[in-house]
Amino acid sequence: MILHLKENITEEHFQTLAKSSEGVGYIKDGKTVLILSSKVKTVPESLTSYVDEYFVTDSDIQLASKTYTPEKRSIKIGSETIGGSTNHTMMMAGPCSIESWEQISQVAEFLKPLGIKTLRAGSFKPRTSPYTFQGLGEEGLRLLGKVREQYGFNIITEVKDSSHVQLVIDHADIVQIGTKAMYDQSILKACSISNKPVLLKRGFGTTLQEFVQAAEFILSGGNENVILCERGIRTFENKTRFTLDLAGVAYLKEFTNLPVVVDPSHAMGYRYGVPDLTRAAVAMGVDGLLIEMHPAPEKAKSDSAQQLNFDEFKSMYQSLQPIAAAVGKKIV
Ligand code: PEP
Ligand code: MN
């Protein structure tokens, strides 16, 4: 159950009420929001005198649910918007990892004339093996800051663990929480008390319920700017790296109020399938796309097999606008 409390409650009083009702919540922008377990179906007597309005929810998908807010959330990213009533599908493209200034400036020079406004690149890389490239770390964030300054891109970059979560929040326009970090409570907590937009990827072994509940950890601390990203789940199939769950995307669009992004690159794992999966996602009218591309994919220090080269990216990109238009969208 979600309760909107009356405005004149102090932070201290709010914390006392939250504790005694075993709830969580926040006071922000004139809103006082207290969330109790979804098992609670009537307003507890001790709270009735403080409540302005309340929402009964059928599971712990609460703040993210359409029961609470039927309209899709609109999230500001610099001068751009994702979600809400915009007809935009936000293209977020770039290499898996930032590797050098030379590499990232080549990518920026290529993407800029296409009208793409959001550049992706990881600097803290959550790798499967400790013996592979782990990312440039803080130095990479500095270079990404230079990309923003010089070319005007919004930057999405990922956080791997809580030791650098504040650093990433401070440097990124969108903080990406990856498939392996999705359950990290320290990362979720730090993001929840910030206003920075967060792109939360679905854990590859995570049900949709668990996925959206992870988003609830961020939302319930007062950060209303959460974007969900489907990036493939692990199934019995091993010809592809993961299985892109487009049925799950349909579920998220239908039942949550959060913008939904699709990452076909990590799902497929091989460049040959990425354009087709991207077109399928665009046809579903998703709010954004996260695509890996690299000036020389064969030399990439991470996820080499799935990154598109410039020509492959461009021809895919050109094929997307008519599909987007057919579902009333525009790729930006
Ligand atoms: C990435 O975006 O490069 C990445 C590591 O993604 P995921 O967390 O989905 O594997
Ligand atoms: Mn990657």
Kindly report, residue by residue over 282-299, the tens digit of the pLDDT.
Answer: 999 999 999 999 999 999
Q: What letters, b where the CB count within 10 A reaches 16 and e where it falls short, cover 291-327? A: bbbbbebeebbbbeebbbebebbeebbeebeebbeee
Phi, psi of 312 (to 5 degrees): -65, -40
Q: What is the pLDDT of residue 125?
A: 96
Query: Is the distance from the beta carbon of residue 122 to the nearest atom of ligand 1 less than 6 Å?
Result: yes
And the tokens for 90?
């936000």
Between the CA of 292 and the centroid of ligand 2 the distance, in Å, is 7
Kindly report, residue by residue over 75-99, the tens digit of the pLDDT.
Answer: 999 999 999 999 999 999 999 999 9
Query: Is the distance from the beta carbon of residue 179 to the nearest atom of ligand 1 less than 6 Å?
Result: yes
For helices 310-326 and 274-283, what crossing angle results, to 10°? Answer: 20
Residue 72 bridge partners (DSSP): none
Strands (E), the chain: 2-5, 24-28, 31-35, 51-55, 74-77, 80-83, 88-94, 118-120, 154-159, 174-177, 198-201, 226-230, 260-262, 288-292, 330-331
Ligand 1 pocket mutation pick from 156, 263, 266 by most atoms within 8 angstroms of CB:
266
Task: Give pTM, 2 decimals.
Answer: 0.98
Counting ligands in written order, which one lies closest to the CA of residue 305?
2
Q: Class assignment of domain 74-331?
A: alpha beta
Tokens 């609470």, located at residue: 68
Tokens 């525009």, located at residue: 330
Domain ranges of the chain: 2-55, 74-331
Q: What is the pLDDT of residue 274?
A: 98
Query: Is the distance from the beta carbon of residue 178 to the nearest atom of ligand 1 less than 6 Å?
Result: yes
* Separation of alpha carbons 59 and 41, rounded Å: 11
Q: What is the pLDDT of residue 7?
A: 86
Residues of the chain predicted below pLDDT 70? none
| Atom number, ligand 1, closest to the C-alpha of residue 180 | 8
